[in-house]
Amino acid sequence: MGVLLMLDRRSLFRVGGALAVAGALPTSAAVASAEPPARSGGDPGGPALTTRNPLVEQRADPFITRPADGMYYMTGSVPEYDRVVVRGAPTLEGLATAEETTIWQRPASGAMGGYIWAPELHRIDGKWYVYFAAGDSDQPFRIRTYVLESANADPRAGGWVLRGQVVTAWDTFTLDATTFEHRGRRYFLWAQSEPGINTNSNLYIAEMASPLALKTAPVRIAVPTLDWEVQGFRVNEGAAVLVRNGRVFVTYSASATDARYCMGLLTADENADLLDARSWTKTPTPVFTTNDATRQYGPGHNSFTTVGDQDVLVYHARDYRDITGDPLFDPNRHTRVQRLYWNDDGTPSFGVPVGKGGPAVRLSPLDSPRLHVRHFAYRLRVEGNVRELADSQFRFEPGFLGAGTTSLQSVNHPSRYARFDGASLRLDPNEGTEAYRRAASFVRVAGLADRGGVSLRLAGDQSAYVAHDGSGRLVVARPGNDRRARERATFRLG
């Protein structure tokens, strides 16, 4: 077995100051000795999720398709609210600089001559459809839902035809339509103001007769009643659908479009009757909200896409809280993407809207891939089923000791970095001292037991590495050539 190292402060500075022994953890954090294998999700040979943040500036209500014939396509609201645009690229990263095509422009007057909101792009039975909300020129807030159709293989091409309004049960404020197929039936899901209900918009679902029309009466599945759904306005809108793990998940957005904007979650069993309102359960707290630490405000109106086998959350948010005037006309709701994770019980784990910086990653020990390095009360440890996702997300940043070193930054506490304080591994703010720089810098190398992973070496000792000891503690060890010790000092990134 490898040799564990116990370092005091003097030893720390002698080796250049990097990660060392963490304090003992409660037995509840212990590593299971017979843990089944699991995918780490960090295969370096697979497709990479872009780290650009924001991905596209001034594009609110973003919708990015899943890969179609090797291409991603994106649309969203433009600040002028006057047209429908589409861009495409073979990677998410490529969408940032892809040329944008206007596929439809609002008329100068009359119906649809007002605000154009929240287009979504869907491929159905070999054709492309765009569902979008539009007001009239003389009543820009008389919003209804309309649909465009194209038989072209590439949605950026011309040939789009306006197919008219999607008619619902009431001729009232209607927006944010999406569609999905499940168990051989196609559904329409949208937000609308229902007569007799004192809200701005509720969520409804119906089966579709065709991509242009509804087959069944609307079923109301969500009404804004909770405190976080009625800030500024009483709103449930911007639904997005993800079918995973035996359930149908519907995210939606709530409240005013400023920093109070946030996301909620509805859930139904995949075998349930989706047209029965009793099939749907609302999570009582928001799942994605403003985060002052990461300086991301009003995250919402999301969609989902994929990169390889990874689910990706697409959403908009601002970089600042304070807005002059009506937030609806502040142009800086930018399109952002980040990986969506899953809890052990099969429910989605959203974390926090990540701020600017490199890729946000999770570190899993090679021999215990269901466990993750996480922080709690600013102390680092290793445990499983971390439901507070952001507590287990980090960024590798340039090391405080300069070339050849790296520092490990917390995603949800970006002013804090991992460092050894002489007794345990902690997250502490940058003190700007030489002692801090040494304590918060180490060397990232290819994994000792798997070069597809990483190992973290002390900056001044080429044989000392961060490892876990099998009981939940992070320690510093000299694994040498011992196979098991080298596995415990190797981490997969996911």
Secondary structure of 364-381 in the HEC alphabet?
EECCCCCEEEEEECCEEE
In terms of phi and psi (left: phi > 0; alpha: psi -120 to 50; beta: otherwise), the region of 190 is: beta
First to last CA, the chain: 27
d(CA 80, CA 239): 23
93 catalytically annotated: no
User: SS3 of 346, please?
Assistant: coil
Region of residue 436 (left: phi > 0; alpha: psi -120 to 50; beta: else) = alpha
Q: Which of 61, 93, 258, 330 is catalytic?
A: 61
| Structure tokens given for 129 | 């459809």
Q: Which two tokens stand for residue 404?
A: 């050849």
Cα(423)–Cα(39) distance, integer angstroms: 33
Q: Who's near 488: CB < 8 A, 6+ residues apart?
A: 2, 365, 366, 367, 467, 468, 469, 470, 477, 479
Q: Which of 435, 424, 418, 404 has the alpha carbon at shortest distance from 491?
A: 418
Please tell me the chain's helix, strand, coil percentages from 3-state DSSP, rounded to the nearest 5.
Answer: 10, 45, 50
Neighbours of 79 (CB within 10 A): 13
- 120, 176, 237, 383: the catalytic one is 237
237 catalytic per annotation:
yes
Known catalytic residues are: 61, 237
